Structures are given as C-alpha cells and as structure tokens.
Amino acid sequence: MHDKILILDFGSQVTQLIARRVREMGVYSEIVPFQSAEAAFRSMNPKAVILSGGPASVLEANAPCAPQAIFEAGLPVLGICYGEQTMCAQLGGAVEAGHHREFGRAFLEIEEDSPLFDGIWARGTRHQVWMSHGDQVLREPTGFEVTASTDTCPIAAFEDRAGHRFGVQFHPEVSHTPDGRTVLMRFLFDEAGLRGDWTSESFIEDSIRDIRARVGEARVLCAVSGGVDSSVVAALMAEALGDQVTCVFVDHGLLRKNEAEQVVRAFTEAFHPNLVAIDARATFFAALAGVTDPEAKRKVIGAEFVRAFEAHADELQGCDFLAQGTLYPDVIESGSPTAAKIKTHHNVGGLPDWMKMTVIEPLKWLFKDEVREIGRKLGLPAEMVEREPFPGPGLAVRILGEVTPERVAIVQEADAIFRDEIRAHDLHPGIWQSYAALLDVRSVGVMGDERTYQHPIVLRAVQSEDAMTAQAFPFDFRFLEHVANRIVNEVKGVNRVLYDLTSKPPATIEWE
C-alpha cells in the first residue's frame, strides 16, 4: 500500500501538472472532481489533500467547495489559487473580487518565514511566481498567518502551521514558478510526512494486478498504432494476460509517409507476433468525405475504428475488452466534469455509444514521459519508446477542411521533407513534436513565369515536457528557408510555406 495524496480538481487546465509534480517525487496521487470528492476522500483514506485552482469564483452562488470532512479530519491540506480561496471561505475568512487581476508572472514578497519556503525563500526577499486569478483573499481565517504578498495581492500565501494547512495564490506546479517544485516538496515530505515509494516498477506491478482482476478469463483487443502509448499498453496487457490479448493495427490511410509498413514490421519483428493488420483506408476516406468540422472528424474516426474491429470479429475471437493508449492530457483536453473541453480526442469522446466492447485504459492518468519510462522498464525497443507523439486521428487533424487521398499525399510529402531535414541537421533530440499541416485556403504564386493558385503548408515544431504547455522550436532562419525551398520545389500543389510560432497556450500543439 502506497502513501496517497488526494488532489481535488476544481477545473484548472493545469490540475494535472500538480499530479505530475507529485508523482515525479515518487508519491502516489489521484485526481478527483470536486463533485465526487466526499466519497473519494472516505474510500481513498489519503494522508494529505491538495485543492487545485479553477475558473469559478467563491463569491458565486453554489460555488464549488471542498468537503468539510477534509478540514475536520486534521490532515495536511494545500490550497492552490481557487483552492486557497475556497479553503479561506470555508474556514471563516473572506474573499473579494480582486481590484487588480494577476495573470502570468508576478513577484512574491515573503512576509514571514514558512515551512513551505524553507531553504529557498527567506523573509524580506522577493521571488518570481506564476499567477492566474481575479478574486483574492481579503482576510485570512482565524488561526492563520499571512506569509507572502504581491504588489496587488496583500495575501498571496497564508498558513495554519499547527494544523499543517497552507494556502498559496500562486501556482507552484507550473515551470514558470522556478522554485515551485521545492514548495510542493516541502508540503509533501516535511508537512505531510509522505514516503516517495511510488515508482515505475510499482506502477507496472499494480497495473498487472488490476488488469488481471478486471479482465479475468476474457479476451482483449489491444488497438496499436506503433506509437509509444499504444505499444506500452500492448506490452502491459501482454505481461498481464499473455495469449488472451490480440493486437490490432488499423491502417486508416492517415499515417505519415511509409509509416504503415514500418509499424507492422517493427511490431511483429521486435515486440509482439500476435498482430492483426487491417487495411481500412477505403472505408475511412469514404466516411470522411465532405466532413470539415474537426470535432466531427474525430467522432467519425473513432466510430470507424470500432467498425473496423467489429468487421473483423472472427479474426479477433470475440474480444470483450478494448485496450487503448489514452493518456491524461487526452482526458483533460476532451473535457472532464470540471474542466472545459478543448477538443475531443477520438479515443475519449469520439468513441460511439453503440460500441459493445468495454474500454480499458491503464495509462489514462499518466503523462508522456511517465509512459516512456514504463516502456523502458517493460523492455520495448528504443524506436518505439522515443517515437514522437502522433495523433490517433492521424493526418486528419493536420488537414484543415475535407480529408481526401490527394490532400493526404500533399501533407505526407511535405511532412517527410521537414522531418528528414530535422534529422539530417540533428535537431530532433530537442523537439517534442514536429509536422506539416495543410490549410483549407489557396494563395497566388509564380512558378516558371506563370501564375499559380495553390496550397500553403504550415510547419510546426515544439518543445515541451508533457504536452500541456509548449513553445515553438527556435529554428535558424536559414534552416526554415531551406526546408521551404525543398517543399515548394518537390511537393506538387504547394506554393507557400509558413512556420507556426505560437505557444501552447493560447494555441494547441495540433491545429485541430
């Protein structure tokens, strides 16, 4: 049994980063929506609780709040942003609408020494943090002491040291708060007394036990794409269930150039011989004909995957479960009970309600780097573990507008040139994800002294740790000019190349 920490989710888009930081320190954590927090708190029996940020205001009627039982239990509690505000309000303090909102970088003035700041922030010093709030604490609860402020937020941190209860208006979980990891560490180990005993090995052991208990003697269809997520799921399922697992690769025609052949070869030779490969290109293109809305594309693709599985039911020997490589960022962007939906991932909100198989997602609370580590422990080949993230809907979400074989071919060729040049210049180690996208517009150009009216290609490459935030990769301009020249000269139908400099947020990594 691991020490556990419960994270109450009030709807912040970065709640999952709290779990990420906690797990980096070897502490087992679970994220639970505030709506079901009471039952989760009683059944989980955590040793500490973190209250996340969120978009609501405690000044609203029926504002989200934490179960009072959490405060009555005497456990260590850390409230972050909205979590600080609701803790303040629920314990008798006061919150007001802020006269000056703080979004982004701010500077914290340390008013008093605090166990959370021990060794990093001394009284009377000033430090960079990241803020995202409108409301702010007006008066701390009785028994609490103010420990930090900013120029516009007089109570940016408070604490009840004897009760091990702390509130911070800033976000220690994001990288923009440079010492935030240490603040969380002080809470987890010094105040909550947690053990760092949750490792990739323990995750594998726990997952295998849970999979066996859930599946029993039933058969499992494991959807694989060749990417790290689905490959790790396949390895985990095979480790747990052996021959009860049949891996299925569906070629939907939306992969990168020559990738379908590479996936089948690598998978069968290096990893799992029990693979069924399905050529469903014709049915996917037929289903996507005339579809331009990105949400509709994802739902069409999710449904077609299931149809492909069911069309080959005889080969799959009556599978009762569908195992897939859903990760936590997929769940967050698809919308949770508390967080806003950014986009439906085909394997989360895109699966049809008529599907007969029961979905099993052993990685759904993990981040990409955690999955890679699990893959290494399971002995997967390096080319699988280190593969760049690739969306389940494939190039359909990199083609704005209708998806046709002709438009897919344009993206495949442009993407191949871009990625080949990245590897040739040894730039790939610093890039999280790179690709070419096709816009649903045309532009005027000149080729061979004649007018052209063709497509623009957008190149995108980002640096990231977890796909929840990302920055554009800073290519040398001459490199981009070289790639653009190759694409325009070698890819028919393209007369213009652009580079996307937008970070996430406000953009997402993919265009759709």
Q: Write down the pLDDT at residue 343.
A: 41
Mean per-residue pLDDT, 279-292: 95
Q: For residue 422, what pLDDT band results from cuts at 50, 70 and 90? A: very high
The answer for residues whose C-beta is within 8 angstroms of residue 104's C-beta and 6 or more apart is 130, 131, 132, 176
Total residues belonging to the chain: 512
Percent helix, percent strand, percent coil in the chain, to nearest 5:
35, 25, 40
Say yes or no to pLDDT of 116 above 50: yes
Say yes or no to pLDDT of 120 above 50: yes
Q: Write down the pLDDT at residue 462.
A: 96
Choose, from 102, 159, 173, 512, the residue flagged as catalytic: 173
CATH of domain 200-385: 3.40.50.620
Say yes or no to pLDDT of 485 above 60: yes
Q: For residue 493, what pLDDT band results from cuts at 50, 70 and 90? A: very high
Q: Is the pTM of this model over 0.75?
A: no
Closest CA to 230 of 208, 243, 247: 247
Q: CB 102: neighbour CB atoms within 10 A?
A: 21
Q: For residue 268, what pLDDT band results from cuts at 50, 70 and 90? A: confident
Q: Write down the pLDDT at residue 391.
A: 86
Least confident interval from 143-157, 208-222, 413-427, 463-477:
463-477
Planar angle of CA 297, 299, 301, nearest 5 degrees? 70
Query: Cα torsion at 331, 335, 340, 343 (round to 10°)?
Result: 80
Sheet of 126-139, strands arranged across:
28-33, 4-9, 48-51, 77-80, 165-168, 157-160, 145-149, 94-110, 126-139
User: If DSSP states are collapsed to H, E and C, what string results for 257-316?
Assistant: CCHHHHHHHHHHHHCCCCEEEEECHHHHHHHHCCCCCHHHHHHHHHHHHHHHHHHCHHHH
Q: For residue 272, what pLDDT band results from cuts at 50, 70 and 90? A: low
Asked if residue 339 lies in contact with residue 9, where contact means CB atoms within 8 angstroms, the answer is yes
Q: Round to whole Å and give the CA distance between 422 and 262.
A: 19
Q: Round to whole Å and give the CA distance between 185 and 175.
A: 14
Q: Write down the pLDDT at residue 328.
A: 63
Cα 458 to chain centroid, rounded: 23
Token pair belonging to 4: 């556990």
Closest CA to 150 of 127, 181, 173: 127
Domains 4-191 and 200-385 share a fold: yes
Closest CA to 287 of 266, 301, 273: 301
DSSP 8-class letter at 426: T
Least confident interval from 60-64, 85-89, 269-273:
269-273
Say yes or no to pLDDT of 160 above 90: yes
Mean per-residue pLDDT, 279-289: 95
Q: Write down the pLDDT at residue 386.
A: 83
Q: Write down the pLDDT at residue 350.
A: 47
Q: Write down the pLDDT at residue 342.
A: 40
DSSP string over 356-405: -SEEE-TTTT--HHHHHHHHHHTT--HHHHTPPP--TTGGGGGB-S---H
Q: CB 511: neighbour CB atoms within 10 A?
A: 17
Choose, from 127, 164, 171, 252, the residue flagged as catalytic: 171
Q: Write down the pLDDT at residue 331.
A: 66
Q: Where are the domains of the chain?
A: 4-191, 200-385, 404-499
471's enclosing H/E stretch is strand 471-472
Q: For residue 334, what pLDDT band results from cuts at 50, 70 and 90? A: low
Q: What's the whole-number average pLDDT of the chain?
A: 88
Choose, from 81, 88, 153, 247, the residue flagged as catalytic: 81
CATH of domain 4-191: 3.40.50.880
Q: Write down the pLDDT at residue 317.
A: 66
Least confident interval from 63-67, 179-183, 347-351:
347-351
Q: For residue 354, what pLDDT band results from cuts at 50, 70 and 90? A: low
Closest CA to 475 of 407, 426, 402: 426
The answer for residues whose C-beta is within 8 angstroms of residue 70's C-beta and 6 or more apart is 8, 37, 41, 49, 77
295 is catalytic: no
Q: Hey, which of 306-310, 370-374, 401-405 has the most confident mean pLDDT?
A: 401-405
Mean per-residue pLDDT, 183-206: 92
Q: Write down the pLDDT at residue 337.
A: 52
Q: Round to whole Å and give the CA distance between 17 and 173.
A: 6
Q: Write down the pLDDT at residue 225.
A: 84
Q: Write down the pLDDT at residue 349.
A: 44
Q: For residue 385, what pLDDT band results from cuts at 50, 70 and 90? A: confident
Q: Write down the pLDDT at residue 2.
A: 81
Say yes or no to pLDDT of 235 above 80: yes
Q: CB 403: neighbour CB atoms within 10 A?
A: 30
173 is catalytic: yes
Q: Hey, which of 39-53, 128-142, 307-321 has the most confident mean pLDDT?
A: 39-53
- Collapsed DSSP state (helix, strand, coil) of residue 144: coil
Give the residues across from 499 on adjacent strands: 459
222 is catalytic: no
157-160 and 48-51 beta bridge pairing: unpaired
Where are the strands (E) in 189-274, listed by range?
Answer: 220-224, 245-251
Least confident interval from 3-17, 18-32, 89-103, 335-349:
335-349
Say yes or no to pLDDT of 274 above 70: yes
Asked if residue 342 lies in contact with residue 508, where contact means CB atoms within 8 angstroms, the answer is yes
DSSP string over 304-360: HHHHHHHHTHHHHT---EEE----HHHHHHH--SSSPP----TTTTSS-TT--SEEE
Mean per-residue pLDDT, 398-427: 96
Domain 404-499 has CATH 3.40.50.920: no
